[in-house]
Structure 1
């Protein structure tokens, strides 16, 4: 064979080898790429179907954010998109909120949400006011079905928390068998307490209160003697008179003493309900409150007061007593104590004529978290709730910065989702654990992060540090909650919370507020209550809302 032929043959063989190598490389590369794609797909699928496995890449979700005034008390430099909660979620789940709306206060926030709904311009995740709005959004096909996400991407502990409220809680946001929202849980609060400026009470030699007559005596003495020297307003109250479970300054204990429960539907027989604002007991309570108004016990300008303004009056020593929840030391009293270091506040339980204490369980499904229809990671809300209310709280997994927030008393609006998730009896079990730890130090080992934060503050207060933050922790968690536990509160609607009956159109609630106001101020006689109830029922029939 000639050299030329052998050379050509070698070249041909070489080219074939090169081609085979290229083909082999391309095959190997294709296999590697396919394996990488399959691995990535598997990683995404695992993350999407697990409560705590992080996403392979950062998932950013747009959020309509409810905020608080004063940056929610976060440290300087922290924002609603970059704080202890968001950093923890980024580290744990690889998720990040992008706020398209930041509005202070729930009333203003929900007005903006209504506008976004009307414009069909929803963020990926947002809060809505309750089941009625969830139903509306579901009817128009604007929100995602969260059924599978709840089953797959929610921890067993979170599911147990929801179960503690009975099946009605999730059923309230289940439509045609589909879970259309994740409701915030509202733990059982007990009853409203009578918070008294204790140093003033002692100064005037007044007895410790336990009845409405005692309340009247204390308020009257504060009005007449004005121990704050700044013009005492009497007993403050919001214009609606009764509360919604989220704010102070109602007169719920006055109504409860008459076994009246305005604003909620109560079971009246086996299959029917009565609206609490229309009962004879409510009429009697309104007549009693009219007497308080006439005698200057009830703030003469109560119908125009906002909670913020009442807080300022307390701070300025113009108010020495009010009805409020166990957490009143955190808001509004902490600011009042900061402004008046010598002020001493103490809670009391007010009972009816038989020494019994009654209350009712407020709406447990406001707000609700919904996900925009079409958003590909609807499970993200389940993962966030699991990370914050299970992993961070119970497992202490890298949540030290969140623990510091809790010790500082940073408002819950710092969380991306301003919703709560806890067991129905959490207020009381938390206090029990703190109390035990204060008396038996070994009990600290099993505390969750929230309990630990409160324990540290209470311990410091008992050790002599009178920082208002430590006082607020002790006064709320130990003094107030244990007082409620001892009172053995009876809930009138514990076994039947008719969620579908709770919400009313704004014009109906406005009609009620105005009628009650006219009766209390004396603009109309008590007989006007009958006119109001008849008019109210007619309007309900016209709007096809009477059950």
Structure 2
């Protein structure tokens, strides 16, 4: 999710601000507080080799360009203030073996792995990690990490109890550094409160309320457009906004994750009876005209145009959804749409749980041929320190040599990143903003968000989106109750893709999406779901399930 939001923001300012926080950092990422004189801050200084040697350790990597990264004048991926700072502060000289456009990076990386032409360290996904282990191309980092990671890094990387580090551990060996992140991001229901008031409708608490609201928004057309719908969705059913994940979770259906069957075995969420119930509800909505009949050919941006144009007033989305909604909510310097955010309604008396992953999608691996693997851990130490205990001096790692935020996503120049595995934004920000009390703020992220939200409070409506995320009635204000009641359904499978997954999963997912969309659009009867389940099992699903449970038996 961190990356998905970037492609859907139409306003350049919002794209620049939010891509760096709401998705690429804060989704995963509140940051612990520590003063420059704290043990945390001093630990990285003790790890710096600057006083030990005049010879920098050189390590190579590969990079993907990013459309949201703006270089300072005269700079490039090869020569920039971030690379210079790492060389100065921790004695590590970073070189780029190659740089590729983001759209071509994975293909080029696959070719490099296949030809064993890899740099000293580089980012991979879970499948590539498994491939590299089997090919004996990457280094066991157990001892390197133990000797070179400082105490603060070790504490930071295991705040979740060590689960994310465990995903990078094979047969007791640490084979990669996980790009840690906060998995505890809920889906929410976003509704036009001004329309609820106009039509005298109650705020949504159940899925029946959702249906009632959707029908009223469709039939009574509170936006006055002459062509309205009940809910906004797009062809990518699981997108962070205008997706259906939150809707399905309201039926206790969980897409593309493995859940406990109650008897100690793992089962795949997509093929459970609850998914059929959710699809039936969506098909009924489609029959009633509550869903845009062209949704299957629209991406998030196109689907969102219905929201901007007052044709839809109900949508499921992540906490950062206001960064998308702002394009219609704020016009000509005024807030013209009043959106409210609500916990996921449930179809029955059992509370809805928002599905979440483990929080790791990227791993950093080190080639067996690397001469200085310890340099990679030095980079990790320094990034964690500078990102969580920011001083005027180390702001260079986020903003460049002038140390001034320019909405340029300059921090993307860091070749290795790790983020907090939890945050306290929901406990801190709403109260701080409501009471204008900066003393409550604990992290850099909270200070940044508070500053933007207070701009809105003081009349800058362009910051509406931040207020809707972090303010007293914003999305993060709902997290304390969600966490207190453990309203998350976490994927129980965190191992490397099984052999049959590698071979069959892409085909199975494609088939799933085709069948689900046909059912929703009433082009196939609801019983087509049962046929899909039977086909899924025969085409590899049963074997995948066996492999997943063999893994589960070893780790639980």
Relative to the length of structure 1, the TM-score reads: 0.77
1:490 equivalent among 486, 491, 509: 486
**How many Å separate the matches in 2 of 1:347 and 1:232?**
21
1:377 aligns with 2:366: no
CA distance in 2, matches of 1:82, 1:436: 43
Shift in CA distance, 61/298, structure 1 to aligned 2, threshold 3 Å: farther
Change (3 A) 1:339 1:61: farther
Say if 1:102 and 1:167 are closer, same or farther in 2 by CA, change over 3 A: same
Residue 386 (str. 1) matches residue 381 (str. 2): yes
Aligned length, in residue pairs: 487
Aligned to 1:173: 168
- Out of 232, 239, 243, the residue aligned to residue 236 of structure 1 is 232
Structure with greater helix percent: 1
**1:178 CA displacement:** 2.0
- Give unpaired runs (5+ residues) of structure 2: 1-42, 548-556
Match 2:453 to one of 458, 483, 486: 458
How many angstroms does 1:103 deviate by? 2.9
CA 1:181–1:285 in structure 2 vs 1: closer, same or farther (change >3 Å)? same
How far apart, in 2, do the equivalents of 1:325 and 1:74 lie? Answer: 30
Cα–Cα, structure 1 residues 382 and 474, in superposed 2: closer, same or farther, change >3 Å?
farther
Instruction: Classify 1:319/1:371 alpha carbon distance in 2 versus 1 (closer, same or farther; 3 Å).
Output: farther
Residue deviations 1:486-538 (CA, integer Å, cap 9, x gap): 34553454594543579662111112112212222222211111211111111
Q: How far is the alpha carbon of 1:234 from its aligned partner? A: 4.9
Q: Tell me how far apart the structure 2 counterparts of residues 437 and 480 of structure 1 sit (CA, whole Å).
A: 15
- How far apart are residue 350 of structure 1 and its match? 2.6
Work out which of the residue numbers 337, 345, 350 in structure 2 matches 1:351.
345
Which of these residues, 250, 263, 275, is aligned with residue 243 of structure 2? 250
Q: Check conservation: 1:52, 1:92, Cα contact below 8 A.
A: yes
Matched position secondary structure for 1:360: strand
Structure 1 contact 197–343 (Cα < 8 Å) conserved: no
Q: How many angstroms apart in 2 are the aligned matches of 1:103 and 1:545?
A: 36
Alpha-carbon distance between aligned partners in 1 of 2:284 and 2:145, rounded to the nearest angstrom: 52
CA 273–495 in structure 1, closer or farther in 2 if over 3 Å, else same? closer
Q: What are the within-5 Å matches in structure 2 for residues 165-314 of structure 1? A: 165-224=160-219, 225=221, 227=223, 229=225, 232=228, 234-242=230-238, 247-311=240-304, 314=307
- Name the CA shift for 1:271/1:189 in 2 (closer, same or farther; >3 Å): closer
Inter-partner Cα distance in structure 1 for 2:438 and 2:174: 42
Matched, 1:96 2:94: yes
Q: For residues 362-511 of structure 1, what are the structure 2 equivalents within 5 Å?
A: 362-396=357-391, 398-401=393-396, 411=409, 414-417=412-415, 419-422=417-420, 424-426=421-423, 429-435=424-430, 437-438=432-433, 439=435, 441=437, 443=439, 447-466=442-461, 468=462, 470-478=463-471, 479-487=474-482, 488=484, 490-491=486-487, 493-494=489-490, 496-500=492-496, 505-511=505-511
1:137 — aligned with what?
A: 132
Q: Does 1:514 align with 2:507?
A: no
- 2:341–2:475 CA contact under 8 A, matched in 1: yes
The 1:339–1:102 alpha-carbon spacing in structure 2 relative to 1, beyond 3 Å, is farther
* 91, 113, 116: which one aligns with 2:112: 116
Shift of 1:64: 2.8
Partner of 1:499, secondary structure, is: coil
Alignment pair present for 1:127 and 2:120? no
- Note the C-alpha offset of 1:112: 3.7
Seen in structure 2, the aligned counterparts of structure 1 residues 538 and 486 have a Cα distance that, compared at 3 Å, is same
In 2, the alpha carbon distance for the partners of 1:313 and 1:82 equals: 44
- Larger CA deviation: 159-168 vs 138-147: 159-168
How far off is 1:366 after superposition?
A: 0.5
In structure 1, the gaps of 5 or more residues are: 1-46
CA contact (8 A) 2:65 2:100 kept: yes
Distance of aligned partners of 1:212 and 1:442 in 2 relative to their CA distance in 1, 3 Å threshold: closer
Higher gyration radius (CA): 1
| Cα offset, 1:335, TM superposition | 4.5
- Rounded Cα–Cα distance in structure 2 between residues aligned with 1:271 and 1:454: 42
Shift of the 282–334 alpha-carbon distance from structure 1 to 2, 3 Å rule, reads: same
CA shift digits 1:440-461 (9 cap, x unpaired): 74626x7332222222222322
Q: What TM-score results when the alignment is normalised by the length of structure 2? A: 0.76
Match status 1:333 vs 2:331: no
